[in-house]
Amino acid sequence: MIAGKIFMIAAAAVLLAGQPGRIEADATSDLHQLFAESWERTLRENPTFASSFGDLRYNRRWPDRSLGAIAVSHAEDRRELARLMRIERSALADTDQINYELFMRQKQDQVKAYRFRQFLLPLNQRGGIQTADQLADRLRFDDAKAYEDWIARLQSFDVYMDQTIKLMRRGIKEGRVHPTIIMQRVPAQIAAQLVDDPSASSFFAPFNDMPESISVRRRGKLEARAGTAIARAVLPSFKRLARFIDKSYLPMTRDQVGAYAQPDGEAFYQFRVEHYTTTSLSADEIHKIGLREVARIRAEMMEIIENLNFSGSFDDFLEFLRTDPQFYYDDPDQLLAGYIAITKRIDPQLPKLFDRLPKARYVVKPIPAAIAPDTTTAYYSQPAADGSRPGTYFVNLYRPEVRPKYEMEVLSVHETVPGHHFQIALAQELGELPAFRRYGGFTAFVEGWGLYSESLGGDLGLYADPYSEFGRLTYEMWRAVRLVVDTGMHAKQWSRQKAIDFFKANAAKTEFDIVNEIDRYIVMPGQALAYKIGELKIKQLRRQSQEALGEGFDIKRFHDAVLSKGAVPLDVLESQINAWIAAEKNRLGKTH
């Protein structure tokens, strides 16, 4: 039998050797079939993402957050990874070998993440089911079906809530709970949802502006059904959540704010460090990088202070920036208008640094009032894949007296163009890439690009006065401080107050902002490391390119090369730029 099997294997090898094109075609076909099926599963398992993405097939559903569904999803991740490993990687073209590598890394991370069971922490002060109403802002309500779908979601909201509470109960049993200081911020967000009149609920908001294409009679019926669903499913669900958090969850929360206090906390934090930075750096190494960057940036800040002839210490200058009324708007509408004016100044300047510009537009909107007190200064939401919704730059208008004018330019560059909107919208246009790359990506690249783009503001006509330049340095310092305080709290057992004090001593952010930032790092261990680590790599690659190409270096071509393959891990980006440098040398050698 063994001899016969050997003969059959040898014969098969001879046959296959005669048809290499067939092997390559099969490997390519199998790979893209896997990508397509995996992406379809992503949309099916995440119906709210699918809806905001523009895919309306699952528009009547919330995610299934039962423990059984989560376990099934984990098993599917493992199966997809095993299926990938059966594909002959060496038979793939270069581009697909990169696709293979990135898909493998994402799946490996998803499989590893299950061990740490963060799904048992389904909400925090930054969002969760208590902010589910915000989904409506990302949807199109153009016809009666869109309203029918929303009503179906309202009617099943109680199931979604029960699953959320069950996850949190399981988290209590396993010792995976949020710190007390974090969960104390959530009850007020839930209370904001507890209205007496269903028509006053933010879940009812889409019915306040229904299109005229729907008849008056139909509109009345839809409004009545929505009100009933909110009264029967939504409002009672929030009352249950409020009771659960007050009576059951808050008493079991922990005093320590760091990830080290979670079960298997040290391994969990190192996993998050590697996941978000796409490097093998340790928490201690990153902490030291942060301290070096803080010292470097502080020296640049001191130079500006000296040039301004300010009489006082560094701390005195920070206090001056935090408290002098000249640096703040009094009115939220003025603050919003200021942000919009800055973006209009940036847009026409982009061709100075880029050949390729995104097609998708972006808009500026206020952060929803219900979460504004507990969230950060701004954030960005990407455009819908079908072009039905622009990218959105959400800005925090709560308490304008703590939102400094000197930070507005650098913040706008980071969140819109040439920062997040620019990079993400361009990635969505890379039609040759599989969907998981066009609409996903690696945080170190995405946020590293956002921070790198801040350094381009001067070339775009920004930072013209010393205070705005100090604002840029404040934002860079902010990201350097993150390396110190994130690793400090999660790996070195720093207290929340120690992190706040370090932040306050080095950055001209208001204390209100600093507290919100620190609380963000508490619930998102490791994520804040991605910005500075990614930016340092992009800047290093730019210096390397300039040294290699000399006068032939073209900043537009460099930027196009960085953005040409979407958001990739930093080591893949380095290989990508090394290949570009070689190609540029060849091009320049032929043309000069």
**Backbone φ and ψ of 381, nearest 5°:** -120, 125
Residues 238 and 307 in one domain: no
86 occurs within a structural domain: yes
Q: 291: which 2 tokens?
A: 């301290």
- Domain endpoint, select from 120, 138, 166: 120
Decide if 52 is inside a domain.
Answer: no
Residues of the chain scoring pLDDT < 50: 1-16, 592
* Pairing status of strand 362-366 against strand 391-395: parallel
Q: Quick check: is 111 in a domain?
A: yes
The verdict on 456 and 512 lying in the same domain is: yes
Q: Domain check: are 271 and 241 in the same one?
A: no
133 with 73, same domain: the answer is: no
CA distance 52 to 49: 5
Residue entry with tokens 């006509």: 461
Residue 509: what pLDDT? 85
Does residue 154 sit in the same domain as residue 277? no
User: Are 33 and 94 in the same domain?
Assistant: yes
CA 154/CA 232 separation, integer angstroms:
9
Domain that holds residue 214: 129-255
- Residue 205: inside a domain, yes or no? yes
Rg from Cα positions in the chain: 26
Residue at 540 is within a domain: no
The reply to whether 154 and 203 lie within a common domain is: yes
57 located within any domain: no
233 forms bridges with which residues in the sheet?
none
Q: Which domain-ending residue is among 221, 255, 289? A: 255
Q: Are residues 512 and 393 in the same domain?
A: yes
Pairing of strands 378-381, 391-395: antiparallel
Instruction: Please report whether residue 538 resides in a domain.
Output: no
Q: Give, in order, the Cα–Cα distances in Å from 102 to each of 35, 171, 550, 573.
A: 11, 31, 32, 12
Distance CA 34, CA 181 (A): 43
pTM of the model: 0.91
The CA distance from 367 to 306, in Å, is 37
Decide if 48 contacts 137 (C-beta within 8 A): no
Q: How many domains does the chain have?
A: 3
Residues 182 and 112 in one domain: no
Whether 228 and 276 map to the same domain: the answer is no
Q: Report residue 9 as tokens.
A: 């294997």
User: Same domain, yes or no, for 422 and 520?
Assistant: yes
Model pLDDT, residue 23: 65
DSSP state of 375: S
Alpha-carbon distance of 31 to 88, in angstroms, equals 9
Q: How many helices (H) and strands (E) does the chain have?
A: 25, 3
Which of 96, 120, 144 finishes a domain?
Answer: 120
Is residue 72 one of the residues assigned to a domain? yes
Q: What is the pLDDT of residue 14?
A: 43
Q: How far apart are the C-alpha atoms of 238 and 157, rounded to whole Å?
A: 10
Which candidate, 578, 551, 548, places its Cα nearest to that of 562? 578
Say yes or no: 179 and 212 in one domain: yes
